Amino acid sequence: MSNPEEFRVMEKGFNLSQAAAEADRCLLCFDAPCSKGCPADTDPGTFIRKLRLKNITGAIRTIKKNNILGGACAVLCPTARLCEKECSATGIGRVIEIGKIQRALIEHSWERGIKVLEKGKPREQKVAVVGSGAAGLSCAAELAKEGFQVTVFEARPEIGGVIRYGVPAYRFDNDFLKHELEDIEELGVTFKRNSPVEGKGGAEKLLLEGFNAVFISPGLWGAVELKAGTAGIKGLYNSVGFLAAFREERFAELGSALTGKRVAVIGGGSVAMDCAESAQKLGAADVYLVYRRSFSQMPAEEDERIDVLVSGVHFLLLNQPVDFVTDSRKTLTGLKLVRTRLGDKDESGRRRPVEIPGSEWLLDIDVVVEAIGNKAVNDSPEWYPQVKVDGRKLIEVNPETGETSVKGIFAGGDIVRGPALVVEAVQDGKKAAAAIREYLSGREE
């Protein structure tokens, strides 16, 4: 197993001088297309222009005013297919590395103690935010800037949702997250850890307990399974539990389970890449990434796929897992697979994997990590029984405001969209905050 210290700290980014040099390559477009490419309206065209003019504080203010999680988004967002994809420099030379500039400015603000946000004039009205992921934190910060009294209820011991428990620290470390959260707390937001809002109507009861509005953003903590009835198989993990254990630094436990073992990770998204890379770092003898489509059709970003491939992970493409093989002690010994070919396009626009009859085979394996998707926790609709949900237990909202079917209750993030990007959750929180402000302003006496 690698040195545990390597698991705890992410790679350094640009310093301010490097960020300024990168910004100097910007074409300073009028009506910058990069700004239109950011789902959270972080406005890179403006903060890069301000950095070019040596207005560093102004550049930082632009980021934090528009995106309270500007640091997290700079690290975790797939900028290559968002703001950077729209960069006008693409047709001339190398694209401007917007994410790295953004991260450098945010880290500089922490190093120098630059404060750019202020609390709004205090209001009497109180808002409860259920869940401390990106959507909840964004909504809480926006409302706090308007002077509302905001309390964030988090069921887990630490704040941050998926960016705290679902991303390995070597990609997004605790120190970085701590600074992001401090910026939000300084706005006056109250965090209540180990405070689940569960049980029959738990979220709805908040309206009866003195809160004037509620924003629901509990995320998706259920794991999609290959098949039912697999509980208790030794050596079988889901991505939620696996990455949470990694983030909680249970390295001895994970190392004991994985070091020297043959590990298969099922899936082709960013979470699967994180699981495969983490297994590598924990000392697995061989790591197989099993995916039913082709390399180009993986939902993970291209750079993620290449990094994992170069690291030594074996990609078993066009293979569909169908079952697990265990011994008499219910210990995992193999993964049954069937080869696939690509057929016609499905609703996602990708070619559908079609199983090839008679191509079944067995991969000898010791550990399997299922990273095939997240879903709403089974009993989550019971927490807000009056709120309308769809067949996947996702909350139905007005997409422009986050309003649910219950007056005074709003929602956003993955519990509305399904698995999505951090930057999209930030935008959900911003939209809901604006709607909550309008809703409560109409109720002021």
pLDDT for 245:
93
- Residue 181 in 3-state DSSP? helix
Look at residue 196 in the predicted model and tell me its pLDDT: 94
Rounded CA Rg of the chain: 23
The pLDDT value given to residue 3: 65
Domains of the chain by start residue, with CATH:
12-112 (1.10.1060.10), 126-220+376-441 (3.50.50.60), 223-374 (3.50.50.60)
List the beta strands (DSSP E) in 97-185.
126-130, 149-153
Report the predicted TM-score, pTM, of the whole model to 2 decimal places.
0.95
Report pLDDT digits (tens) over 316-344: 999 999 999 999 999 999 999 999 999 99
Residue 445, pLDDT score:
46
**337 three-state secondary structure:** strand
Q: Determine the pLDDT at residue 444.
A: 54
Measured N-to-C along each axis, helices 16-23 and 44-52 cross at an angle, to the nearest 10 degrees, of: 100
**Phi, psi angles (nearest 5°) of residue 235:** 100, -5
pLDDT, position 2: 62
Cα–Cα distance for residue pair 187/145, rounded to 1 Å: 6
Residues 6+ apart with CB under 8 A from 309: 315
Q: How far is residue 268's CA from residue 121's CA, in Å, rounded to a whole number?
A: 47
Per-residue pLDDT in tens (0 to 9) along the chain, 445 residues: 666 777 888 999 999 999 999 999 999 998 999 999 999 999 999 999 999 999 999 999 999 999 999 999 999 999 999 999 999 887 778 899 999 999 999 999 999 999 999 888 999 999 999 999 999 999 999 999 999 999 999 999 999 999 999 999 999 999 999 999 999 999 999 999 999 997 789 999 999 999 999 999 999 999 999 999 898 999 999 999 999 999 999 999 999 999 999 999 999 999 999 999 999 999 999 999 999 999 999 999 999 999 999 999 999 999 999 999 999 999 999 999 999 999 999 888 889 999 999 999 999 999 999 999 999 999 999 999 999 999 999 999 999 999 999 999 999 999 999 999 999 999 999 999 999 999 998 765 4
